[in-house]
């Protein structure tokens, strides 16, 4: 049986549909991201799962039990869920250990059991040595780990995270993605993770729900979304791509699926002019305009493939890498 089931969930503000006809089932222990641009309804969906507001339409079930419907909601504190917000406030006047143990104190667990569980989770998030410190004495990443430890230590049925890394700088954000996935592999808590960052969703998730204007565009594992996007919106949102019109349809071709060479490689290659380039260290990002066309294609090559702007080149497109999008 599915752990968490959303059936035709909708949320309207007046006649504006913030979320519409949203259906999703999470297996027990699954990690699913809600991914989409700002304003597409991610936070609204998560807040409905958490029980902060009733849906306008539809139902939410945990283990087959209805916990949300337009008729009413089981309140957040009775759902067995932990939620981490963008501003993951941890209590400044409590030590790391007290912050993490607080949820267990409320549940009135025996002292020794609390100590055991707090110590274990602090080891896992590599904060064992900092148990007695106060938040002001921690870095941003360490504070984020405290917030994660505090949410996980109570062993929630479902863990909800709303853009939990957006206050961290780029390097730390990248490191914490792996940390979040590692914690998931360790504790296997059913998780819904909200983000507008496609790399974050791809690193952490078993499946990604791509949202656009309150609706689901596609639900798939990361490699399927990237390789077989169903719509132009998904192809453009997950990674960089080129759109070309051919045979009355729109096709998506990834920049790295196009070969670039100075000499003609095969009979199928087409001639193009290099009209722009950027060096990104790990790769080159070229703009190559096929002869007779107006729109250049983006082409990614290895860092050692050198072409000058204005140079005539040959493009080779792998037909198997072309995906038809609606
Ligand atoms: N209380 C509200 N009243 C009216 N509109 C709202 C309210 N809360 C959110 N919205 C609108 O609903 C849409 C979805 O918001 P939200 O779920 O916060 O998006 P996201 O988290 O994907 O950025 C946005 O257009 C937002 O302006
Ligand atoms: Mg949001």
CATH code at position 250: 2.40.50.140
Does the CB atom of residue 49 touch ligand 1 within 6 A? no
Q: How many domains does the chain have?
A: 2
Same domain, 54 and 82: yes
CA distance 164 to 37: 16
C-beta of 13 in contact with ligand 1 (< 6 A) = yes
List the CATH number of the domain containing 142.
Answer: 3.40.50.300
Residues 249 and 178 in one domain: no
Whether 222 and 248 map to the same domain: the answer is no
User: What pTM was estimated for this model as a whole?
Assistant: 0.90
If asked whether residues 220 and 251 sit together in one domain, one would say no
Measure 40 CA to ligand 2 centroid, in angstroms: 8
Q: What is the arrangement of strands in the sheet containing 242-246, beginning at the earlier edge strand? A: 242-246, 249-253, 322-325
Q: Which residues of 104-125 are buried (b: 16+ CB within 10 A; e: fewer)?
A: beeeebeeeebeebbeebbebb
* 215-220 sheet: strands from edge to edge: 81-84, 158-162, 190-195, 31-35, 207-212, 215-220
Check pocket membership of 127 for ligand 1, CB cut-off 6 A: no
Same domain? 92 vs 209 = yes
One domain, residues 257 and 168:
no
Task: Report the pLDDT value the prediction gives residue 85, as an integer from 0 to 100.
Answer: 83
Do 320 and 291 belong together in one domain? yes
Ligand 1, pocket-test mutation among 41, 56, 85, most atoms within 8 A of CB: 41
Q: Which stretches of the chain are assigned E, i.e. beta strand?
A: 4-13, 16-26, 31-35, 57-62, 65-69, 72-73, 81-84, 158-162, 190-195, 207-212, 215-220, 242-246, 249-253, 258-261, 270-279, 284-290, 297-301, 312-317, 322-325
* pLDDT for 86: 76
CA distances from 75 to 6, 56, 79, 156, 194 (A): 17, 16, 7, 15, 21
The reply to whether 169 and 253 lie within a common domain is: no
Q: What is the pLDDT of residue 318?
A: 87
Report the distance separating Cα 155 and Cα 145, nearest Å: 16
> Ligand 1, atom 26: nearest CA belongs to which residue?
39
Tell me the C-alpha distance between 161 and 267, whole Å. 51
CA-based nearest residue to 249, from 230, 223, 271: 230
Domain that holds residue 26: 4-231
Specify the pLDDT at position 34.
98
Provide the pLDDT for residue 112.
Answer: 96
- Residues near ion ligand 2 (CB < 5 Å) are 43
Segments in the chain below pLDDT 50: none
List b or e across 235-246, with b for residues whose CB sees 16 or more CB atoms inside 10 angstroms.
Answer: bebbbebbeeee
The span from the CA of 177 to the CA of 163, in Å, is 11
pLDDT given at position 193: 98
**DSSP-assigned states of every residue in 186-231:** HH--EEEEEES-HHHHHHH-SEEEEEETTEEEEEE-HHHHHHS-SS
CA 116 to chain centroid: 32
Structure token digits, residue 16: 């504006």
Strands 4-13 and 57-62 come out as antiparallel
What is the C-alpha separation between 167 and 95, in angstroms, rounded? Answer: 21
How far is ligand 1, taken at its centre, from the CA of residue 41, in Å? 6
Which of 197, 231, 265 marks a domain boundary?
Answer: 231
Domain co-membership, 145 together with 51: yes
Q: Which ligand is nearest to the CA of 45?
A: 1
| Ligand 1 mean position, distance from CA 65 (Å) | 27
Domain boundary residue, one of 231, 255, 288 = 231
Q: What pLDDT score does 322 carry?
A: 92
**Same domain, yes or no: 57 and 134:** yes
Q: Please check whether residues 160 and 106 belong to one and the same domain.
A: yes
Ligand 1 site, residue 18, Cβ cutoff 6 A: yes
Same domain for 9 and 125?
yes
3-state class (DSSP) for residue 283: coil
Domain boundary among the residues 231, 259, 293 is at 231
């Amino acid at each position: 049986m599915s752990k968490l089931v959303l059936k035709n969930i909708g949320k309207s503000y007046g006649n504006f549909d913030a979320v519409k006809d949203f259906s999703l089932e999470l297996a027990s222990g699954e990690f699913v991201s809600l991914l989409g641009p700002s304003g597409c309804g991610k936070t609204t969906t998560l807040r409905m799962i958490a029980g902060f507001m009733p849906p306008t339409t539809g139902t939410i079930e945990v283990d087959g039990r209805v916990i949300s419907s337009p008729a009413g909601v089981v309140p957040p504190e009775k759902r067995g869920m932990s939620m981490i917000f963008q501003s993951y406030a941890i209590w400044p006047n409590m030590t790391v250990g007290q912050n993490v143990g607080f949820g267990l104190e409320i549940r009135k667990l025996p002292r020794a059991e609390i100590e055991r569980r707090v110590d274990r989770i602090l080891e896992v998030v590599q904060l064992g040595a900092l148990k007695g410190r106060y938040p002001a004495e921690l870095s941003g990443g360490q504070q984020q780990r405290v917030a994660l430890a505090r949410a996980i230590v109570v062993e929630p049925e479902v863990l909800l995270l709303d853009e939990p890394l957006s206050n961290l700088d780029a390097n730390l954000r990248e490191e914490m993605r792996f940390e979040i996935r590692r914690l998931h592999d360790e504790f296997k808590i059913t998780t819904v993770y909200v983000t507008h960052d496609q790399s974050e969703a791809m690193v952490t998730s078993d499946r990604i729900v791509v949202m656009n204007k309150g609706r689901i565009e596609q639900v798939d594992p990361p490699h399927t979304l990237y390789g077989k996007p169903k719509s132009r919106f998904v192809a453009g949102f997950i990674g960089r791509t080129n759109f070309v019109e051919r045979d009355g349809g729109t096709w998506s071709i990834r920049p790295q699926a196009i070969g670039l060479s100075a000499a003609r490689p095969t009979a199928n290659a087409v001639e193009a002019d290099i009209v722009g380039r950027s060096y990104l260290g790990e790769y080159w990002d070229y703009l190559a305009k096929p002869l007779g066309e107006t729109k250049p294609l983006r082409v990614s090559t290895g860092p050692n493939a050198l072409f000058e702007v204005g140079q005539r080149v040959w493009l080779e497109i792998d037909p198997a890498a072309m995906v038809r999008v609606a």
